[in-house]
Chains A and B, each alone.
Chain A
């Protein structure tokens, strides 16, 4: 709940994080910030243990990363940017090439990102104005021993392509994203709620505007008129 986090604000509000480029509203704030920060503050990097930066577990930390090169060659402008944090590589895409990009990365003989390790979403309500959600997928290449993160930003109510045609692992992962965030996946064979009850009508819990305690306490069916209010609780959270 918003009032309980008043004195735990992030160190910068979304307004003064970065100027959003009118031409390219999809650019990540975090990527911009890293560029600004690393230009001025060297001590942050100095504290990082060298093995973390040079692990190479995600590939080269430069725009000539093979995945970025392959995706840009195939999709051009729809591949928005590549950003780095610690030793991790994140490529941001436009949502209309979501499934095709994954197919390309999976079938590429050299990169061969055969394993979809995670598919989730982040509600960016407090971090940027639009778009609201970021669908994030993490891939792993057994051949190269590299991981990769792909992101696409979508609006509330907008649907995105399913990855079940590319990876069967996306089946339940997308169902969970639908359950928790309300993001619909076009073409999913069986999109229904997975973690909450099928007849749950109180919304999608992991959205930022959903209270952690939910809306209604549990009432035993048949005893609705004798329901006792929830035990008063003086903890903050």
Chain B
């Protein structure tokens, strides 16, 4: 039996653990790391073909969380679709919102005012930090450092408090709107962010003291899951998986959006392309995110509009809706019918915590998108798992899943 034969039905191979005798002392075992498993970060199924403890082939089977978000996108108005973008990558919901809203704004040809852009960058970077908290906690938990999950989630709770104060929800924020924001950043929220900027670096230092020089951590991550730069490009990797192999591609620097071209930050690059390098890249990204937030708070204009003036595409401000007849009618039409963007198609990419998140929207002029394609980074990044897993040990499988940093809502949509 060749090693590339894979079972054809999912349910049929449920509890089958296959043991193949290839003769000449060689044996192969197909092990099912099933959809319910504490280390697969959600419902992913991994069919591992093992020779002893060595993995010969790893076949990720996904789709256990496929909910048809793209089909929903074709049946909802542009104004209504933002909550579903929250639920694709639920660890970093504001970043998903941002990607979608930037695509709609480009389609309509409008730009949010400056203060709104600064607030968007602050929320995006906070969301990136929050997503990395989940990544670090679960990744370290899987490898064995059980207390890391407890430490990182404390900091994540602080960020979720900031989100809750700003938009009302902790996790699925539905934060960004076409044209800017309806509600401004309160002074108490800014105070919370300032306090986070003070409290976060010592906490991060604690984690690095626990992990970075730890011989067990080094033994489990150094040299494991190496991706060569050529292979990384070939597999279409983006984000820390690509930068860990040394290739400098960060959408915030390469094709700046919002006000990233005014901010001063660095893009960390790895050298070896192993799990340790990707870990170091993401830890450094945390520091750079804090740096960005610090600059935003310093540079942000203290007053000014936070919602664009384009009357066609933007929700009218609350105080005029309740006081003038025109804006009440406009509000009604905007909510019930939506707006008609121009016909065309756009692809807008942002730097999500996991890589490049792209939204490809095809518009036929109606209030609903004709095609809403969400190019999620984990879906494309997860393809590299069989490549990394060849020749690795069984115990490395969890480290490899963690290092790609997948969230199944984003993989399956």
Chains A and B in contact, CB within 8 Å: yes
Residues of chain B contacted by A173 (CB below 8 angstroms): 380
Proximity string of chain A (186-210) to chain B, C-beta cutoff 8 Å, 1 when within and 0 when not: 0000101111111100000110001
For this complex, 14 residue pairs linking A to B, each with C-beta atoms less than 8 Å apart, are A11-B340, A11-B365, A86-B109, A140-B249, A142-B248, A168-B234, A168-B235, A169-B235, A169-B236, A171-B383, A192-B8, A197-B63, A212-B74, A237-B75
Q: Is A30 touching B343 in the complex (CB atoms < 8 A)?
A: yes
Q: Is A8 touching B380 in the complex (CB atoms < 8 A)?
A: no
Q: Is A88 touching B347 in the complex (CB atoms < 8 A)?
A: yes
Which single residue of chain A is at the shortest CB-CB distance from B371? A122
Chain A residues with a Cβ closer than 8 Å to the other chain, count: 60
Residues of chain A contacted by B109 (CB below 8 angstroms): 44, 47-49, 52, 86
Residues of chain B contacted by A10 (CB below 8 angstroms): 343, 364-366
Residues of chain A contacted by B237 (CB below 8 angstroms): 169
Shortest Cβ gap from A161 to chain B (Å): 18
A100 in contact (CB, < 8 A): no
Residues of chain B contacted by A194 (CB below 8 angstroms): 62-63
Stretch in A19-27, A59-67, A69-77, A112-120 with 4+ CB within 8 Å of B: A112-120
Q: Which of B107, B236, B373 contacts A120 (CB 8 A)?
A: B373
A149 in contact (CB, < 8 A): yes
Q: Is B412 touching A195 in the complex (CB atoms < 8 A)?
A: yes
**Cα separation A122 to B70 with both chains bound (whole Å):** 11
Residues of chain B contacted by A212 (CB below 8 angstroms): 68, 71-72, 74-75
Q: Is B110 touching A169 in the complex (CB atoms < 8 A)?
A: no
Shortest Cβ gap from A122 to chain B (Å): 5
User: Which 3 residue pairs are nearest across A and B when measured between Cβ atoms?
Assistant: A169-B236, A10-B366, A195-B63
B200 in contact (CB, < 8 A): no
Q: Is A5 touching B371 in the complex (CB atoms < 8 A)?
A: no
Residues of chain B contacted by A52 (CB below 8 angstroms): 106, 109, 111
If A8-B367, A52-B106, A147-B347 are given as contacts, then 4 extra A-B residue pairs at C-beta distance below 8 Å, sorted by A number, are A10-B364, A52-B109, A85-B346, A138-B360
Residues of chain A contacted by B371 (CB below 8 angstroms): 122-123
Which single residue of chain A is at the shortest CB-CB distance from B230? A114
Q: Is A206 touching B249 in the complex (CB atoms < 8 A)?
A: no
A39 in contact (CB, < 8 A): no
B326 in contact (CB, < 8 A): no
Which single residue of chain A is at the shortest CB-CB distance from B356? A117
Shortest Cβ gap from B263 to chain A (Å): 16
Proximity string of chain A (158-179) to chain B, C-beta cutoff 8 Å, 1 when within and 0 when not: 0000000001110111001000
B144 in contact (CB, < 8 A): no
Chain B residues with a Cβ closer than 8 Å to the other chain, count: 61
Which single residue of chain B is at the shortest CB-CB distance from A127? B364
A51 in contact (CB, < 8 A): yes
Interface residue ranges, A against B (CB under 8 Å) = 5, 8-12, 30, 33-34, 44, 47-49, 51-52, 55, 57, 85-86, 88, 90, 114-118, 120, 122-123, 126-127, 136, 138, 140, 142, 145, 147, 149, 167-169, 171-173, 176, 180, 190, 192-199, 205-206, 210, 212, 237
**Cα separation A127 to B366 with both chains bound (whole Å):** 12
Q: Is A117 touching B66 in the complex (CB atoms < 8 A)?
A: no
Centre residue among B75, B255, B345, B347 by max chain A CB count within 10 A: B345
Which single residue of chain A is at the shortest CB-CB distance from B72? A212
Q: Is B344 touching A85 in the complex (CB atoms < 8 A)?
A: yes
B375 in contact (CB, < 8 A): yes
B310 in contact (CB, < 8 A): yes
Q: Is A117 touching B373 in the complex (CB atoms < 8 A)?
A: no
Q: Is A30 touching B345 in the complex (CB atoms < 8 A)?
A: yes
**Cα separation A30 to B9 with both chains bound (whole Å):** 42
Q: Which of A44, A116, A195 contacts B62 (CB 8 A)?
A: A195
Shortest Cβ gap from B202 to chain A (Å): 36
**Cα separation A237 to B68 with both chains bound (whole Å):** 14
Known: A34-B344, A85-B344, A117-B358. A8 touches B235 (CB 8 A): no
Residues of chain B contacted by A47 (CB below 8 angstroms): 109-110, 310
Q: Is A118 touching B360 in the complex (CB atoms < 8 A)?
A: yes
Shortest Cβ gap from A54 to chain B (Å): 13
- B residues 231-268 in Cβ contact with A at 8 Å: 231, 233-238, 247-249, 254-255
Q: Is B347 touching A8 in the complex (CB atoms < 8 A)?
A: no
Q: Is B71 touching A117 in the complex (CB atoms < 8 A)?
A: no
Q: Is B68 touching A9 in the complex (CB atoms < 8 A)?
A: no
Residues of chain B contacted by A12 (CB below 8 angstroms): 343, 365
B407 in contact (CB, < 8 A): no
Which single residue of chain A is at the shortest CB-CB distance from B375? A118
- B residues 346-401 in Cβ contact with A at 8 Å: 346-347, 349, 356, 358, 360, 362, 364-368, 370-371, 373, 375, 379-380, 382-383
Shortest Cβ gap from A133 to chain B (Å): 11
**Cα separation A127 to B370 with both chains bound (whole Å):** 9
Q: Is A114 touching B343 in the complex (CB atoms < 8 A)?
A: no
Shortest Cβ gap from A30 to chain B (Å): 6
**Cα separation A18 to B270 with both chains bound (whole Å):** 52
Q: Which of B66, B337, B362 contacts A122 (CB 8 A)?
A: B362
**Cα separation A34 to B344 with both chains bound (whole Å):** 9
Shortest Cβ gap from B72 to chain A (Å): 7
**Cα separation A126 to B74 with both chains bound (whole Å):** 12
**Cα separation A56 to B72 with both chains bound (whole Å):** 33
**Cα separation A30 to B383 with both chains bound (whole Å):** 34
Q: Which of A8, A85, A206, A237 contacts B70 (CB 8 A)?
A: A206
